[in-house]
Chains A and B, each alone.
Chain A
Amino acid sequence: MNRFLYYFIILNMIVNIVVEVPKILIDYSHQGAITSIIFALIIGASLTWIIIKLFRPFPGRSLPELLELYTPNWLNKLVLLYFSLNWFIAGSLSITTFTLLLKRFLTPEMSSYIILSSFVVLVSYGVLMKTRSLLNSMEIIMILNIPIVVFLIAKVYLDEAMDWDYVKVAMTYVNNWPNYSAVTAALYPLIGIVNIIIFNRYLISKMDMRLKQLFIVFLTGALILFTTFFIPLGYIGFGISENIQYPWILTSDSVRLKYGLIERFIFIFLLIFLSLSFLNITIHWHVAQKLFEAFYRSKKLIVKGKDLNPYLWLVLFWGITFLVAGRMTEYQLFLLGKYFFNQQPLFLIVLIGSLMLINRGAKKKWAKSAE
């Protein structure tokens, strides 16, 4: 498997440790979170497999190109619009939650608009980069950050104050049926592969997945979901953690770096996860912008040979994000995130359906040209 595919999958997993997913899972800890996680793992790993297999016949092509080639026009636009909205919402949800998080824990006195604009400006720069450059910068950021992430997580695992008995108590709730919301929340970190729809264009070699790779993806997913759900319980307790807004932030605040440069673990934790979130948001919006561009592109905005269309979409992104982030409460944001997770199955069905349509269309066309 191409290493960039691993980056996509692992990045999405790591980023989602922090905010919404653990909250939802812990909310359902009495109602089948564990079975939901197992269920989601199976779905997530097989989805990764299916999507890679469906893209295999088309190396170097992105989904918008394929849709244009092999599907009817009306369908093509509809699907593109739906996808681009999805990616845009995913990005702006992360931005808004991280803004609130920073305001709460890092810079309580700063206006949220300033935090947001510093975010948006930086992300926009990344969004406007060439896809290939974005891929390379992703590799650099990942390689710089992953060792630190591993250290941080290991520290949380090995800390003396971690009480594994709470984790084991949580495991005694294994005999419950999975819950829909918990399944979708646990599924979300696992589907990082969907970014392939744009990046496939630049990824050519080794775009295959064998059993070994499937196993690796499954195992990393299991490890990350275990960390996401169980580890906070060892610090904030079981049965009393449902009323905690940010379980993982509280957890990271409970770890003390006795001999560290900074005693409070939370600041290093927040900064590292922030940088990875930045990357993830950039990727989300980059994909969203490319999809929007495929959906609608004005010739009027090409001024003197320079295409201003991406800027148009970016300005739109900014505006909506500012509006949303300025007005929403934490709880509304949380609910929105939950709804977004809950509609994931539709998204996945549309994605796989359109890929299958493309495959059928392609076969027909090739058969025709062979005649």
Chain B
Amino acid sequence: MGKVGRMKQWILVLLLLSSTLLSACAFKDIDRRLFVSVIGIDPAEKMEEGFKVTLKIAIPFGAIKEASRPTFAYLSEEGETIGEAIRMLETHVDKVLELGHMKTIVVNEELLKGDLQEFMNYFVRRGDLQMIAYVTAARPSAETILRVEPKTEAPASISFYNFFGGTGTESPFIVTTYLFEFRRDYLGEGIDPVLPIMETNEDQSELIVNKSIVIGQKGKTLELDPLLTKQYNSLVHNASGFSYKVNKDGLQLLLNIDHIKMKFKIHSDNGKPSKVIMTINKVGVIGESNKLLSPKKLPYYDQLAEQTLSAKVRELLHKLQEEQLDPFGFGLRYRTTKLHTSNPYKIWKEAYPEIDFDVVMKINLKSTGVTE
């Protein structure tokens, strides 16, 4: 081997040796970290303005077999801003608070009525917080919700995560809103975000999510009851597992809808929006009935269902219109139809309270189920 070859060898050895130095610089091992799994925000109790931040921290344990229940620790602190409170919390524990795995942000319902920009800022500005974290409203307070440890929670899992995003349960009553969606629709003009409401039962052994809340600008909010939540969710997010009860002349049908498609169009008169035409296509089967059904009469059942279902959708739309809330994004859609110079959003806002809704419901029942 020549001189050059030996030189190269030495350099290689040096490089390899220097890599042992690297690990010491920044990396903290897993036993020196605490993984924050859920973050809860309440209005401050001790001070006038400010927040109370509660963290739900998952405590790791050696083997899943040894643990019968998941173990969590809770930390609470008040501060004028969220960042401050979290910084203070860092002094309450001996390990690094790791926010990169935080996946649910629970916000007290009361806070949603105020200006959200202030605390949302923290979540968007930090690079290590995920934008695909779920956001949910909490009732009565974020802290109570966070401290709930449902009986069905398995060791090494967090039930908060399984509620949303179709990870665990999939129900049309559960609205999923990601942090980026919430930010986008909250700040955007012409659409209002919807958050699920998380509640708990009396003895705090269950988490319940079946209502939702529409958040408009300037603290205007509207709560949607479970039925309206289901309607909204099935139309906007095509939530699966949608079932609906139809009652007519003593005939009771339970429809299981498994495919929903919604489209809407905005019609204009004299340069002003006058009518929203919403076309909804639903495909499904009959799941339950109190009488004998005939497959020949399926079109008749379609018709029955269409009438009652479109009435329900109309109710939702009118309720939203009354409050001037717009979670469907009609205003945003109207903005896309005109050049920006004509200021379409202003025109829309003026026209929205008097706009007509036309709901065209098409239901296609494929079968009466296994029996007639």
The interface of chain A, by Cβ under 8 A from chain B, is: 30, 104-105, 107-111, 114, 160-161, 163, 165-166, 168-169, 171-175, 235-240, 250, 253-256, 258, 263-264, 306
Q: Which of A107, A111, A235 contacts B184 (CB 8 A)?
A: A235
Given contacts A169-B332, A172-B335, contact A254 B180 (CB under 8 A): yes
What chain B residues lie within 8 Å of A235 (beta carbons)?
Answer: 180, 184
What chain A residues lie within 8 Å of B185 (beta carbons)?
Answer: 237
Q: Are A240 and B25 in contact (CB under 8 A)?
A: no
Residue of A nearest to B344 (CB): A172
Give Cα distance in the complex from A105 to B191, angstroms.
30
Given contacts A105-B128, A160-B237, 7 further A-B contacts (CB under 8 A): A107-B26, A110-B26, A166-B188, A169-B335, A237-B183, A256-B132, A264-B132
Q: Are B28 and A109 in contact (CB under 8 A)?
A: yes
Interface residue ranges of B158-212 to A (CB < 8 Å): 165-167, 178, 180-181, 183-185, 187-191
B6 within 8 A of partner (CB): no
A30, A165, A168, A173 — most chain B CB neighbours (10 Å): A165
B275 within 8 A of partner (CB): no
B318 within 8 A of partner (CB): no
> Would you give the shortest CB distance from A198 to chain B, in whole angstroms?
26
Q: Are B336 and A165 in contact (CB under 8 A)?
A: yes
Given contacts A166-B332, A172-B340, contact A237 B188 (CB under 8 A): yes
Q: Which of A111, A166, A175, A254 contacts B131 (CB 8 A)?
A: A254
The interface of chain B, by Cβ under 8 A from chain A, is: 4, 22, 25-28, 124, 127-128, 130-132, 165-167, 178, 180-181, 183-185, 187-191, 237, 329, 332-333, 335-336, 338-341, 344
> Would you give the shortest CB distance from A179 to chain B, in whole angstroms?
16
Q: Show 16 residue pairs from A and B whose CB-CB distance is below 8 angstroms, ordered by the A residue.
A: A30-B340, A108-B127, A114-B26, A165-B333, A165-B335, A166-B188, A166-B332, A172-B344, A174-B339, A236-B180, A238-B188, A239-B189, A255-B132, A258-B165, A258-B166, A306-B4
> Would you give the shortest CB distance from B103 to chain A, in whole angstroms?
9
> Would you give the shortest CB distance from B17 to chain A, in whole angstroms?
14
Chain B binding surface SS class:
loop
What chain A residues lie within 8 Å of B340 (beta carbons)?
Answer: 30, 169, 172-173, 175
Give Cα distance in the complex from A107 to B190, angstroms.
38
> Would you give the shortest CB distance from A168 to chain B, in whole angstroms?
4
> Would you give the shortest CB distance from A98 to chain B, in whole angstroms?
14
Give Cα distance in the complex from A109 to B333, angstroms.
43
Chain A binding surface SS class:
loop
Give Cα distance in the complex from A277 to B240, angstroms.
41
Q: Are A165 and B128 in contact (CB under 8 A)?
A: no
Q: Are A256 and B178 in contact (CB under 8 A)?
A: yes
What chain A residues lie within 8 Å of B181 (beta carbons)?
Answer: 161, 254
Q: Are B25 and A110 in contact (CB under 8 A)?
A: yes
> Would you give the shortest CB distance from A257 to chain B, in whole angstroms?
10
Give Cα distance in the complex from A13 to B178, angstroms.
30
Q: Are A239 and B22 in contact (CB under 8 A)?
A: no
Give Cα distance in the complex from A160 to B132, angstroms.
13
Given contacts A161-B181, A237-B188, contact A114 B335 (CB under 8 A): no
Q: Are A104 and B127 in contact (CB under 8 A)?
A: yes
Give Cα distance in the complex from A109 to B184, angstroms.
29
Q: Are A161 and B26 in contact (CB under 8 A)?
A: no
Q: Are B26 and A111 in contact (CB under 8 A)?
A: yes
Give Cα distance in the complex from A109 to B100, angstroms.
13
